[in-house]
Every structure is written in structure tokens, then in C-alpha cells.
Amino acid sequence: MKSLLLENLQHIRLEQAFKEWLEVTGYAASSVYSMPIHLREFLHYLEQSKRALEELIPQDINNYFFHLKQRKLAQQGRKIKQTGVMSIKYLHKHLHGIKLFSRYLRETEQGSFETDIILPGQKQHIKDILTKEEIRQLYAACDTSPIGLRDRAMLSIFYGCGLRRNEGVNLDTSDILQNNNLLYVRKGKNYKERYVPITEEIKQDLKEYLYYGRNAQLKDFTTDAFFISERGARITGQSLMIRLRQLLLKAEITKEVGLHSLRHSIATHLLQSGMRLQNIARFLGHKSLESTQIYTQIINKL
């Protein structure tokens, strides 16, 4: 809680340094404000329990969350359960703050501690992630027909470029900046624009579809849409989803995944290959690192 006062000078310094780290790392203003408050409550608990930060063990974290579950919220207006104890949602925020603090300590070479506690309602999204081998199988399932070339371009847009469903559907042919090896996303989330780098392999997939597959389906030469249907109109996300399901069936992949799963998969694979979280966030068009943090949790469970 904000009203708690810390006595340990090291804890006071760490709270301020943690806040500055959140700002520099690019977290949202709401997190920069709230996460140090959660940390202060944790550090205050350690002071009261006579526990040193550098000596923490997983049981200490479990004890802290048991303490939180039993503690009633003193502040008025805070949403609480009928029992009067802290809500699960608020506990999750505390856990997120403590995990971020542990990461801050590790990245600034000040040590770290384990936070393997599982709270009710925590969800993992591992089932939505395709492996690199499964991605290769999807590409192999694409044939050389106009539809097959579009299938391959679809994989390159949603996996290779990590676009959201609507971003891919709204792509125009002029958004493929081949000379600069860039993809221009005009209609990103919250109307944000961005440029996405494309590899030579992806560039080749897009060119083959653009000049052969798309032209074979084109009916109206004034159409700007990159992805078009067999009728020559801008394709819908649902139609692309149907094609993805057919590719999954052909590749004998039984996971229930969608277009957004391709985006989740490339983010996970980039993180596994060593790309920095900040660069992945920029690649995906995330406003802050909070949305990208989920992939660090996923790779720890794979």
C-alpha cells in the first residue's frame, strides 16, 4: 500500500531504482505507478518478518501470498470479495510486480529470487504455440497453385511478419516495400502505424503470390487489397482462417490454433533465439513491454 513506510535504506533505494528501470524499459505509466507500490508492500512485509532480500527462498514468497490472501483491504472503494479478503485479480497484480522486481535484480546483476508460485486462474497459452518444426510442416503443405501461393504468403505475413489478423486483412499491395525490405502496417492496433522488416525468403514468398497467385485471381485491376479471394475481392479473416485449418489438416497438426497463434509462435521463437524483448515488442507493435512479457512465461514452460 502507498501509505506504508519503509525503514531499510536499501529497500528505499531499490524501490526508486525499480521505478526508474520500469520507465527506461518502456512500461506503461500505470505500471510505473502501481508496481513500485506492490513492491513496497512486499519489502515492508520482509522488514516485519525480519527476512533479508538476499536470503529469500520460495517458501518466503508462498508465505507472503498467504499473508495477502488473509489480509483485508483497508482502502475504501477497492473491489473485494464477499469474504472481505483481497481479490484474485489484485493478487495477480502483486505477483506480476514481484516477478518484474526479480527480473530487475537479475538484469542489473543484483541477484534474484525464485517466484514459482501459481495463483488460481493463471492460464498458460502453450497450446496456442506452434513449434518451429510444425511451422515448417505448414509451409511444406502449401502447393504451387494460386491458392497455394496465397497460403504461403499468408504464413509469411502472420508468422514471418507477426501481423495481427486485421493488419494482414487490411494490407494493400503498396504496403509491400520490396526495395526497402519492409512491410508497412497502416492499420495497426489503436490506429498506430509501423514498419516491419522482411527477410529475403519472406520477400520471395510475397512476390510469387503478388505476381502469380494474386494475378490469377484478379478480376478488378483497381483492387488495392493484397490478399484477395477467388472472386477477386479483399479476403476476409474468416476465409484465411479456413485456409489455415486446411493447411493444419494437411500437415497433420492437431493443435487448435488460429491466425493469432502464428503471431504468438514467431514471438516465442524470436525470444528463444535470443532477440531482446524490446525488439520483439517493436516488431509486434506493442505499446509497452507488458504485452510482450507473456512470451517469457511461455518459453519457461515449453
Residues 285/287/288/294 CA torsion (nearest 10 deg)? -50
| Residue 164 is a catalytic residue | yes
The residue from 152, 164, 243, 269 that is catalytic is: 164
Is 94 an annotated catalytic residue? no
Q: At what angle do helices 9-25 and 29-49 cross, to 10 degrees?
A: 160
How far is it, in rounded angstroms, from Cα 284 to Cα 225? Answer: 22
User: Judging by DSSP bridges, how do beta strands 182-185 and 194-197 pair with one another?
Assistant: antiparallel
Catalytic residue list contains 263? yes
Marked catalytic residue, from 103, 125, 260, 282: 260
- Which of these is catalytic: 38, 203, 269, 286? 286
- What is Dmax (Cα atoms) for the chain? 75
CA R_g for the chain: 24
Neighbours of 181 (CB within 10 A): 14
286 as an active site residue: the answer is yes
Out of 11, 94, 203, 263, the active site residue is: 263
Q: Sheet containing 182-185: which strands, arranged edge to edge? A: 176-177, 182-185, 194-197
Catalytic residue of the set 27, 104, 159, 295 = 295
Q: Which of 189, 194, 207, 234 is catalytic?
A: 189
Which residues have a catalytic role annotated? 164, 189, 260, 263, 286, 295
